[in-house]
Each structure stands twice: as structure tokens, then as C-alpha cells.
Amino acid sequence: MIREILKFGDPLLRQKCAEVTEFDRELGILLDDMYDTMLKADGIGLAAPQVGVLKRVIVIDTGDSGRIELINPIIMSMWGSQYEPEGCLSCVGKRGIVKRPMHVRLKAQNRFGKPIKLHGKALLARAFCHETDHLNGILYEDKVIEWVEEDDK
Ligand code: CO
């Protein structure tokens, strides 16, 4: 089911999300809905608070990465840096340059509660940081160094 994506300005996007403790059918439905909602909106990442659910749940698919589901993610280490334009499905039509690490290692759980470890580089590292920030009520606009002019749309 496609869910409504909340926009910047919605107070729910500024909340700190709660840890997931129940790896049940409801979580699976949330993940499936978030993935469908992200694809329909042409995004590469979506965090649960963006659909109004204040839980530590993320879906990512950069294309190259395939479908990634992160429950209770914790960034373990990051190194290097990159400066690239970044956008957000909660703020369509705007992009800004944000400094992010080039590499991110994180641990999380999958939809069944099993521990997983992932390494992201470049765009995937960026997505890990952007989406993890959402779980703490942090939005990329807080970190924009310079806004980028969009010449299409
Ligand atoms: Co976002």
C-alpha cells in the first residue's frame, strides 16, 4: 500500500524514533509499504517517520544496492568525505550540497530481527547517513552547505 509522505515542517519529522522490539507481521507490512511508497516517489531511501511512524526503520534502494531494509541501525564507523547534491522525498524539488563520509559501516537488524552488518560507499554511504539522521529528527536541510539550482522540474 502506498502511504502518504510527510513534508518538511511536519513536527513528526523532528521526533526521535523508538527502537523496534517486535519483529512481527506489522513490521513486514510497514517495510513493504515503505518500499512501494519510495519506488513510486522515485526515491532511493525512506525512513519510517516520513510516513508518520516513529520507529527506527529504513528502506534503501540506490539501484546498485538492491533492496536494503534496516531496523535499529547504528553507524559503527565512517571515513573519507564527499560533497554531493542531496534531496529528500519530504522536500521534493529542492537539492543542496551536504558533506557526508565516503564510507560508512553500520550494523542493524533485518525484518526478522537477525543482526546484519553493511558497508556503504559513495551514494550508499550518503543514503545510510541521510536516513539514519531521519530517525533522530535531523533533516538534510540542517546540513546544507549550499542550495543547488534545479534547471528541470
Ligand atoms: Co530524507
Question: What are 13-53's pLDDT values in tens digits?
Answer: 999 999 999 999 999 999 999 999 999 999 999 999 999 99
H or E stretch including 120? strand 115-121
Q: What is the pTM of this model?
A: 0.96
Q: Alpha-carbon distance 88 to 130, whole Å?
A: 9
Judge whether 131 counts as a catalytic residue.
Answer: yes
Whole-number pLDDT of residue 152: 56
Dihedral angle sign, alpha carbons of residues 131, 136, 139, 144: negative
Give the cell for residue 49. Answer: 517517520
Determine the distance separating the centroid of ligand 1 and the alpha carbon of 69, expressed in angstroms. 15
Task: Give a three-class secondary structure readout of 69-108.
Answer: EEEEEEEEEEECCEEEEECCCCCCCCEEEEEECCEEEEEE
| 127-145 tens-digit pLDDT | 999 999 999 999 999 999 9
pLDDT at 115 over 60: yes
pLDDT band at 151 (very low <50, low <70, confident <90, very high): low
Which of 131, 141, 146, 150 is labelled catalytic?
Answer: 131
